[in-house]
Amino acid sequence: MSTAWESLHKSLDTSIRTRAFHLRFLTAQRQHEPLRAFATARALIALLSKGAPSDEKNRLLAALVVMVQFPANAEQQDLASTLLWLALWSGLDAQYRHLQRYVHEPDELASLIGAAFTYAVRELQVTSDTLVAVTLVMNTRRRVVQKEKTQRKRAQIIDYLQDLAHGEDEDEALARIAGTPGPEEDDAQALAARLRAVCGEDAALLISIAVLGERQHEAALRLGISHAGAHLRYKRALEAARKYFSKKS
């Protein structure tokens, strides 16, 4: 049984061999001069996916990125996206295999890479100095890793809150989280943003104590509030978050 990743490649490879795709490619050629040197989409992919990077390849990849970001229509955007996937498949596949050590469920990893690559293409700022292939592949990898870190930390927080709900000692529950690698600053900020809707302004205090492992008096001093006030606000935020995550689990 093939994985979602293998099925994705097969689907992309099959699609560019169809007459419908070829007709769309011919239409795109009339609007985008860089594509006119190639008789078929497969000829374009053959150049882009093999051999060392070159200025010509970089210009073609940049043109495809622009087609995705500013398409004449949805069909053209889909065509350019398919071509980018196939052109960079070797690099993306290498990342898929490397990232399996972090994300053990193949279909979940395929989904994460798909979403990350789509985001990377749409957000890439193309300049004359941009190395398109390397930048897209590495930005995709970086986003998957950050997403996995955030999901893992969120799962730890859920476990922490649920353990407290079932009567586990707070210090013991917190020690299990504090004993694991802490999140990057951006991950902590992202989690704080999600908790802000639940805990309001106390989200930062909850993150400081429950995620970053600060003691209450340390967090109070850093945030400029009294120790007594931090204690009350932390308990209030903890209860709100516990109720929220209990509903989500």
Q: What is the pLDDT of residues 167-220, one digit of tens each?
A: 545 555 444 544 444 444 445 555 666 677 788 888 778 877 776 667 888 888
Place of tokens 């949805």: 74
What is the length of the chain?
Answer: 249
Which range of residues forms the domain containing residue 189?
Answer: 149-248
Q: Are residues 72 and 175 in the same domain?
A: no
Q: Are residues 133 and 156 in the same domain?
A: no
CA atoms within 13 A on the CB side of 155: 7
Q: What is the pLDDT of residues 4-46, one digit of tens each?
A: 999 999 999 999 999 999 999 999 999 999 999 999 999 999 9
Q: Are residues 179 and 74 in the same domain?
A: no
CA distances (Å), origin 71, targets 62, 93, 245: 13, 26, 41
Q: Are 80 and 64 in contact (CB under 8 A)?
A: yes
Least confident of 58-62, 109-113, 187-191, 237-241: 187-191
User: What is the per-residue pLDDT for 197?
Assistant: 77
Q: Are residues 169 and 217 in the same domain?
A: yes
User: What is the per-residue pLDDT for 202?
Assistant: 83
Place of tokens 């509030």: 225
- CB atoms closer than 10 angstroms to residue 183: 21
Q: Are residues 79 and 159 in the same domain?
A: no
Q: What is the pLDDT of residues 237-247, one digit of tens each?
A: 888 877 776 66
Q: Does pTM surpass 0.75?
A: no
User: What is the per-residue pLDDT for 7?
Assistant: 95
Query: Mean pLDDT for the chain?
Result: 83
pLDDT of 221 above 60: yes
Q: For the stretch 73-93, what's the b/e string if a residue is b when 16 or more beta carbons lie within 10 angstroms of its beta carbon? A: eeebbebbbbbbbbbbbebbe
Q: At which of 130, 147, 164 does a domain end? A: 147
Q: Are residues 8 and 118 in the same domain?
A: yes
Q: At which of 147, 167, 196 does a domain end? A: 147
Q: At which of 147, 182, 210 does a domain end? A: 147
More confident residue, 15 or 223: 15
Place of tokens 């009350």: 232
Host H or E run for residue 148:
helix 132-165
Specify the number of domains making up the chain: 2
Running DSSP on this structure, what letter comes out for residue 209?
I
Q: Are residues 135 and 153 in the same domain?
A: no
Give which of 50, 79, 53 is closest to 134, Cα–Cα.
53
